[in-house]
Structure 1
Amino acid sequence: MNFERGSKPNPTGNLIAYCHVFGENPIAPGGKIIASNVVVSFLKIGDNYPVVTFPPVALPSKEELMKILADNIHLYDVVQLPDFQMPENKEQANQYIQERMEQFNSMVMRYVEFCKAKEKKTQNQTLSDQLEQVSEPLETLANLSMEFRNTSGIAREATRLKMERIVDYFHNNHPTLDIDNFKKALSVPGKVGDELVGLYIQKFNAIQIENYETASDLRRRILEIEESTAT
């Protein structure tokens, strides 16, 4: 596909495909351009992207096509298709039109794949950004929690103040994490407390990467420990 506007990595979902016509134009006599508008909706149903292909139109020139698009050109991808030149023989002409329709449909399918790839890339980038935003605070929280449990006196108090700032960060930016229960776990003594704190950190990580099955398993283990320490 020859993109004159737009690009394969970043399609708009709104495609204008056109070709130059030499000889007879089957859409309208005298037209030197055949153009069609293909719209791909990102409001997908499962893995299916709704596609609308509008009927082709004939235009007197490429200049006329660009004039029509000019006011909203930023909304479109524009691709040029191979020149259209229909054979004079009727049987060959019918076969030629069939082949061009198949080529056009194949082009539409490729364009849909570009749109799918764009959305997947966007989703992956969003997830990557989310992980980058939260991974450092989580790592800091994990390190400070162990430091807090293994120190005493002034050093312990200094660590507690640092932890309060990190805890406030999670309260404000990641309210879905049950950080209050994590704070309670810090007061559980011994190896049981160490395990409990570690499980909370693992659960927070699982939630951030949307691994909810693992998060649920960790939650059950946490509840078992908390119930056993409460008795």
Structure 2
Amino acid sequence: MNEKILVVDDEKEIADLLEFYLTNEGFEVYKLNNGQDALSCIDNHPIDMAILDIMLPDIDGFQICQKIREHYFFPVMMLTAKIEDLDKIMGLTLGADDYITKPFNPLEVVARVKTQLRRYKKYNTMTKTKETTEYDIRGLSINKETHKCYLYGQLIDLTPIEFDVLWYLCSKQGKVVSSEELFEAVWKEKYIDNNNTVMAHIARLREKLNESTKKPKFIKTVWGVGYQIE
């Protein structure tokens, strides 16, 4: 799967330039020119890294970075016309991983993007070698030790079975899980055809997560196959 890079810059020429070079390297690019659209994109699409211009027409890059760090851990690179110590300190304090100053060499940006993604993947791989006790997926946080689930910081009241269903799907993030696999993993019984138990619990989970039935954000139905958290 190609890594997805969010590029936010109100200067069209710069955004187009970054899109061109990143796409040529095999990245998928979400290109936006304001902060509000960027925040909406982050909440509705899986993002692997963000490149944020500091000066934007509505919300500045610092505020976007701060919002990202409330729920996400992917790398953030700040793009700025000038670099001052105060700006750099503020950005790093808010969770930025790297800075690059305009005008820039786009090949250097691509190299830095690859470096940040390598570090991020290495960290995640090292973390996953230990038994994972918590998942945080686009604002949905579930912890196996505390047996609690939060959506954007708000506690979601789940039954033990609902918790186990959601935990199993999160543990298989990116993979499609069949109803049979899910039932046998959670209920520890042999799955029988036409068993609506899984479907009923998925529907209940979606209701508690305020999911749209037509366009769910978290638990997606892959028709004829099963369920998936991307």
Category of TM-score, reference length = shorter chain: under 0.3
**Between structures 1 and 2, the one with greater strand share:** 2
Bigger proportion of residues as helix: 1
Structure 2 length normalisation: TM-score?
0.20
TM-score, structure 1 length as denominator?
A: 0.20
